[in-house]
């Protein structure tokens, strides 16, 4: 009966292979030229076998996104474990996510597509739910740190403003920025020479605006930034040439 165990493992491996191949092809040729025959050819399986794993092309994209969302979650989690004040931990999560996006340029490419309901809808509920769960989990990691800050009295939210709404603000700021960065918009022409730095600055302005202590005039977050890179993401930031 050991065979069925091995079979399962082989199945999972093949699924990984398909996802990774699709990922590579998406980066290389873009969505419109990403086709199933090519995926079959590169994976050295036939189309029929590919369809054994995924019901359609779009489902592969959703699976791809789930996988990288999980990976992103690990970066967030590592950031949240920084020794320090909640706001520093929040900064570490932002930086972690930034590193993740830079190290996984296909993530936002897939995200832009899958965000589109017409594409998401084609995937089977199983895969849809898995992606939803990943996103929810990541949201929880962020709002958890925010809740720590509230209970520890570092930030007092205005009446009617919920922690989720603040997390939403952080989320949308980053999302919008990475959407622009991974799309064809010429940011340089718009006067944005370093969008990643702008995201960092804007996040701190937002947190200052909510009155989340220590404010950026009370603590040198540039120093925190160096500490985060050194303590939490040494390997990744070296890889990105940020140290």
Over the window 46 to 65, marking each residue x when it contacts its own copies by CB under 8 A and - when it does not, the resulting string is ------------x-------
Largest CA distance in the chain: 64
Cβ 46 to DNA, closest distance in Å? 4
Q: What six digits make up the tokens of 167?
A: 């997390």
Q: Helix/strand/coil (H, E, C) string of 73-84?
A: HHHHHHHHCCCC
**Alpha helices, DSSP H only, in 30-162?**
36-43, 47-53, 57-80, 86-103, 105-114, 117-120, 125-151
- Choices 5-13, 101-109, 166-174, 193-201; region in contact with DNA by CB under 7 A: 5-13
Q: Can you read off the two tokens belonging to residue 74?
A: 């690990």
Structure tokens at 89: 């931990």
Question: Could you say whether residue 128 binds DNA (CB under 7 A)?
Answer: no
Question: Shortest Cβ distance from residue 220 to its own copies (Å)?
Answer: 13
Q: Dihedral of the CA atoms 114, 119, 124, 130 (nearest 10)? A: 10
Using CB distances below 5 to 8 A depending on partner kind, what does residue 45 bind out of DNA, its own copies, none?
DNA
CB nearer to its own copies: pick between 205 and 243: 205
Sign of CA dihedral 142, 172, 84, 242: positive
Give the phi and the psi of residue 114 in degrees, each rounded to 5: -70, -25
- The DSSP code for 116 is S
Piece of 4-12, 82-90, 183-191, 225-233 that binds its own copies (CB under 8 A) = 183-191
Helices (H) and strands (E) in the chain, counts: 12, 0
Please say whether the beta carbons of 212 and 155 come within 8 A.
Answer: yes
Q: Which is nearer to DNA, 36 or 150 (CB)?
A: 36
Phi and psi torsions of 83, nearest 5°:
-80, 120
Q: Is there binding between residue 195 and its own copies (CB under 8 A)?
A: yes
Question: Mask: binding to its own copies, 72-111, rule CB under 8 A, as x and -?
Answer: -------------------------------------x--
Binding to DNA (CB under 7 A): which residues in 37-76? 37, 45-49, 51-52, 55-58
User: Which of 217, 224, 206 shows the shortest CA–CA distance to 89?
Assistant: 224
Q: Which residues bind DNA (CB under 7 A)?
A: 1, 3-4, 6-7, 11, 14, 33-37, 45-49, 51-52, 55-58, 122
Q: Which residues bind its own copies (CB under 8 A)?
A: 29-33, 58, 109, 112-113, 115-122, 132, 135-136, 139, 143, 158, 161-162, 164-166, 168-169, 171-177, 179-180, 183-187, 189-192, 195, 197-199, 201-202, 204-210
């Amino acid at each position: 009966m050991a065979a069925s165990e091995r079979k399962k493992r082989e199945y999972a491996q093949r699924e990984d292979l398909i996802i990774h191949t699709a990922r590579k092809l998406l980066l290389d040729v873009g969505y419109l030229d990403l086709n199933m025959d090519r995926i079959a050819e590169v994976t050295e399986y036939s189309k029929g076998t590919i369809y054994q794993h995924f019901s359609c092309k779009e489902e592969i994209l959703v699976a791809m996104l789930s996988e990288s969302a999980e990976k992103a979650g690990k970066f967030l989690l590592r950031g949240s474990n920084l020794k320090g004040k909640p706001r520093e931990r929040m900064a570490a999560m932002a930086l972690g996510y930034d590193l993740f996006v830079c190290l996984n340029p296909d993530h936002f490419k897939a995200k832009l597509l899958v965000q589109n309901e017409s594409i998401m809808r084609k995937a089977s509920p199983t895969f849809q739910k898995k992606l939803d769960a990943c996103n929810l989990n990541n949201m929880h990691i962020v709002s958890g740190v925010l809740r720590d800050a509230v209970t520890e009295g570092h930030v007092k939210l205005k009446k009617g403003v919920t922690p989720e709404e603040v997390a939403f603000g952080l989320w949308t700021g980053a999302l919008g920025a990475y959407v622009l960065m991974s799309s064809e918009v010429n940011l340089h022409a718009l006067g944005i020479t370093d969008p990643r730095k702008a995201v960092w600055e804007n996040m701190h302005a937002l947190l200052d605006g909510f009155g989340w202590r220590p404010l950026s005039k009370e603590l040198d977050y540039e120093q925190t930034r160096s500490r985060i890179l050194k303590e939490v993401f040494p390997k990744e930031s070296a890889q990105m040439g940020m140290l």
